[in-house]
């Protein structure tokens, strides 16, 4: 059972701040900022009103100057460029960022390539590079992939390709012999936690900044003075307009989707990304918002992460990632509408498959727990499980069983899998320790992907658990306690307080939504709703509605029953349906 406790009280002038009833919005915001250590006026201003100009100089990033010079040279020489991006909701928006940049400067001799999740899998592939070379490509720019592609880059070099890697994943000891490697985790860049699309955005920032630094504002004169750098007239004009800020919709979407910490530069990207997303001129996104029932006037990070991101990822899981790329990149309204319909249908199919697999998982986990208990590292799979949805399954297992998990399925003769960690060990280092059993692997500290053979997959769990003690962190498991920020009364559930909370948005990693404890509240009624009654609704006196998706009264620490007095842990939740606003609570847990 999880222990629940509040953040420690804040002491000011010898007086301990205690629970305040019937709070106003400013009072609530003040308390929350203090509890999160945002105390000084400067820190508060930077947090509540991030400044775009406070972003770091992109040239502080490893190899950025080399990358910019090589891209300008390619533009000047009219070389064919290929943008090679990963197939998820980080890599695809990152690919769109570079696509839109080249379109903006009217450079047409480029292409976008996204590997097929099922037939090719994660990473840079030799066969794809061979195809580029045959097609006349001279420069390859990766997005959100490539930092571990030592052999692949060497092969590309042998084909006459020059490769610029832009990636944010953890580098290994040996780096690829690329022309340039742009990665915030290399060198001394001030924010090491950018996502892949965020890194691609920094590259565009650097390209535009190079043009903006030109000594003349006259485009023709600048072309004459800096022709050797390949600075086109269109690029200079784009730089003068500050056009690159419109790409923050893609960088912000990816930053939220990839679950990177929303602090430092990531907060600026997410903050302005949400503003640009509300004003998006992308027909595909507009259609996807409408199809998802999202009113952009009330757009939140929750809408992005739980509604838009799964639909974008459904393309690679269920069909081809190009479907998501086309939705984001198209300028055609008709194409955008068709793409939105297609992704929505794919996502519905994905949900059904995940639900079926999770029923199988529950049976397997229950049997193992009854037999010998769960190991430190759980490896589970079935040849019938499609590889495209395994990351989702691994995440759900972690939510329910809190154990670092490797899930596998098959594609043809290959075994492919995804892994998610609970913070006890770096999954990348763990895979590195048993690399002889894997044919390919990569990822973050807490998430990754791998391939294996049908023979070696059955030895993986034993091998992981043997090396676990050597690779685990000092704290062997994540803390399971649920923290709440403060106590409130049901009468504090007001639009004024909700609007005050939204000043702290966007929420996500390192800036979670505030959780409140409502003590001694009476449950008036308990109901299930939805097409198959899969969601839970609880009405609390005085007439406050609380909900939980895909939950039952027994889904929490204590069962919810009508007439019972409980302590409710919940977040504020705002809903707009058919123009009607509703302020409600989202249940986190229930205590007696």
Cα–Cα–Cα angle for 47, 7, 514, nearest 5°? 50
Q: How many domains does the chain have?
A: 3
Residue 182 located in a structural domain: yes
Task: Let me know: does 398 contact 379? Beta carbons within 8 Å.
Answer: no
What percent of the chain stands above pLDDT 90?
A: 74
Could you tell me which of 447, 399, 403, 401 has the C-alpha nearest to residue 550? 399
In a domain, 240, yes or no: yes
193 confidence band (pLDDT: 50, 70, 90): very high
64 and 118 share one domain: yes
**Predicted local distance difference test score (pLDDT) of residue 215:** 45
What is the structure's pLDDT at 135? 98
Structural domain includes residue 427: yes
CA 408/CA 245 separation, integer angstroms: 40
Query: Residue 531: what pLDDT?
Result: 86
pLDDT bin (cut points 50, 70, 90) of residue 388 is: confident
Q: Give me 179's structure tokens.
A: 């022309």
Give domain status of residue 273, yes or no. no
Domain range spanning residue 587? 4-47+482-591
Do 106 and 62 reside in the same domain of the chain? yes
169 with 104, same domain: the answer is: yes
Does the residue 72 lie in any domain? yes
Cα 330 to Cα 335: distance, rounded to the nearest angstrom = 7
Q: What is the pLDDT of residue 494?
A: 95
Residues 6 or more apart whose CB falls under 8 angstroms from that of 390 comprise 381, 407, 408, 409, 416, 417, 418
Could you tell me which residues come within 8 angstroms of residue 173 by beta carbon, excluding any fewer than 6 positions away?
none
pLDDT of residue 100: 96
Report whether 96 contacts 252 (CB < 8 A).
Answer: no
124 and 195 share one domain = yes
Report residue 17's pLDDT band, with 50, 70 and 90 as the boundaries: very low
115 and 223 share one domain: yes
Tell me, rounded to whole angstroms, the distance of Cα 473 from its chain centroid.
24
Residues 491 and 457 in one domain: no
Nearest residue to 380 (alpha-carbon basis) of 399, 395, 366, 365: 365
pLDDT per residue as tens digits for the range 371-386: 888 999 999 999 999 8
Cα–Cα distance for residue pair 286/314, rounded to 1 Å: 18
Q: Are 434 and 494 found together in one domain? A: no
Residue 361 lies inside a defined structural domain of this protein: no
**Domain edge (last residue) among 428, 451, 471:** 471
Cα separation, 132 vs 50, in Å, equals 41
Both tokens of 526, joined, read 């308990």
Mean predicted lDDT score pLDDT of the chain: 89
Give domain status of residue 561, yes or no. Answer: yes
Q: What is the CA radius of gyration of the chain?
A: 25
pLDDT bracket for residue 237 (50, 70, 90): low
Q: What is the CATH number of the domain that holds 140?
A: 3.90.1640.30
**For residue 21, what is the domain's CATH number?**
2.40.50.460
Q: For residues 346 and 351, what is the distance between their CA atoms, to the nearest angstrom?
A: 9
d(CA 156, CA 84): 13
Instruction: Give 228's pLDDT tier (boundaries 50, 70, 90).
Output: very low
Assign 569 a pLDDT band (cuts: 50, 70, 90).
Answer: very high
Q: What's the burial of 53, exposed, middle or buried (CB within 10 Å: 0-12/13-18/19+)?
A: exposed
377-399: burial string, b at 16+ Cβ within 10 Å, e else:
bbbbbeeebbbbbbbbbbebbbe
User: Residue 134's pLDDT is what?
Assistant: 98
What HEC string does 264-328 produce?
CHHHHHHHHHHHHHHCCCCHHHHHHHHHCCCCHHHCCHHHHHHHHHHHHHHHHHHCCCHHHHHHH
Are residue 132 and residue 25 in the same domain, yes or no? no
> Same structural domain for residues 221 and 76?
yes
The pLDDT value given to residue 469:
86
Provide the CATH number for the domain around residue 460.
3.10.310.30
pTM of the model: 0.85
Question: What tens digit of pLDDT does each residue of 196-226 get?
Answer: 999 999 999 999 988 777 543 343 433 333 3
pLDDT at 234: 60
Q: Which residues pair with 446 in a beta bridge?
A: none
Q: Report yes or no on 259 lying in a domain.
A: no
> What average pLDDT does this structure show over 165-180?
96
- pLDDT tens digit string along 332-386? 999 999 999 999 999 999 999 998 999 999 999 989 888 888 999 999 999 999 8
88 with 165, same domain: the answer is yes
- Provide the strand spans (E) within 402-513: 404-411, 414-420, 440-443, 447-452, 482-484, 486-487
Please check whether residues 578 and 442 belong to one and the same domain.
no
């Amino acid at each position: 059972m999880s222990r629940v406790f509040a953040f420690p009280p804040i002491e000011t002038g010898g007086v301990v701040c205690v629970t305040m009833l019937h709070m106003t919005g400013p009072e609530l915001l003040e308390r929350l900022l203090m509890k999160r250590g945002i105390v000084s006026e400067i820190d508060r201003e930077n947090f509540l009103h991030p400044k775009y100009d406070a972003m770091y100089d992109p040239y502080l990033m490893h190899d950025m100057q080399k990358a910019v010079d090589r891209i300008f040279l390619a533009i000047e020489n009219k070389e064919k460029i290929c943008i090679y991006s990963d197939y998820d909701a980080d890599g695809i928006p990152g690919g769109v960022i570079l696509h839109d940049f080249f379109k903006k400067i009217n450079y047409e001799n480029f292409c976008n390539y996204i590997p097929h999740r099922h037939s090719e899998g994660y990473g840079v592939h030799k066969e794809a590079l061979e195809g580029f070379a045959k097609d006349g490509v001279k420069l390859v720019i990766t997005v959100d992939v490539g930092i571990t592609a030592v052999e692949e880059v060497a092969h590309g070099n042998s084909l006459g390709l020059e490769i610029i890697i832009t990636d944010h994943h953890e580098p290994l000891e040996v780096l690829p012999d690329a022309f340039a490697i742009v990665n915030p985790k290399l060198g001394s860049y001030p924010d090491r936690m950018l996502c892949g699309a965020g890194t691609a955005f920094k590259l565009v920032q650097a390209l535009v900044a190079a043009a903006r630094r030109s000594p003349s504002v006259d485009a023709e004169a600048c072309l004459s003075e800096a022709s050797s750098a390949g600075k086109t007239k269109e690029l200079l004009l784009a730089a003068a307009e500050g056009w690159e800020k419109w790409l923050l919709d893609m960088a912000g979407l990816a930053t939220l989707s990839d679950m990177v910490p929303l602090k430092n530069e990531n907060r600026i990207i997410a903050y302005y990304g949400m503003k640009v997303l509300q004003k998006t001129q992308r027909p595909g996104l507009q259609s996807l918002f409408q199809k998802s029932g999202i009113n952009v006037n009330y757009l939140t990070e929750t809408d992005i992460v739980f509604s838009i991101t799964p639909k974008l990822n459904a393309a690679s899981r269920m069909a081809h990632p190009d479907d998501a790329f086309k939705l984001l990149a198209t300028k055609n309204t008709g194409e955008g509408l068709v793409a939105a319909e297609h992704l929505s249908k794919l996502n519905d199919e994905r949900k059904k498959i995940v639900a079926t697999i999770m029923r199988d998982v529950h049976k397997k986990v229950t049997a193992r727990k009854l037999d010998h208990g769960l190991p430190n590292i759980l490896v589970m799979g079935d040849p019938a499980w499609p590889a495209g949805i395994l990351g989702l399954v691994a995440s759900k297992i972690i939510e329910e069983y809190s154990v670092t998990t490797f899930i596998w399925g098959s594609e043809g003769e290959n075994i492919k899998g995804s892994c998610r960690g609970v913070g006890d060990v770096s999954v990348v280092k763990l895979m590195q320790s048993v690399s002889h059993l894997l044919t390919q692997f990569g990822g973050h500290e807490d998430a990754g992907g791998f391939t294996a053979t049908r023979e070696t997959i059955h030895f993986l769990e034993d091998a992981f658990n043997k090396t676990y003690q050597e690779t685990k962190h000092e704290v062997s498991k994540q803390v399971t306690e649920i923290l709440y920020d403060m106590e409130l009364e049901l009468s504090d559930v007001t639009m004024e307080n909700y609007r005050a909370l939204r000043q702290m948005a966007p929420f996500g990693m390192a800036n979670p939504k505030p959780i409140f404890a409502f003590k001694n509240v009476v449950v008036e009624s308990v109901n299930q709703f939805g097409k198959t009654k899969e969601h839970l609704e609880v009405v609390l006196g005085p007439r406050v509605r609380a909900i939980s998706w895909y939950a039952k009264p027994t889904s929490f620490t204590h069962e919810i029953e009508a007439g019972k007095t409980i302590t409710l842990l919940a977040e504020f939740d705002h809903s707009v349906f058919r123009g009607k606003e509703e302020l409600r609570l989202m249940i986190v847990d229930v205590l007696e």
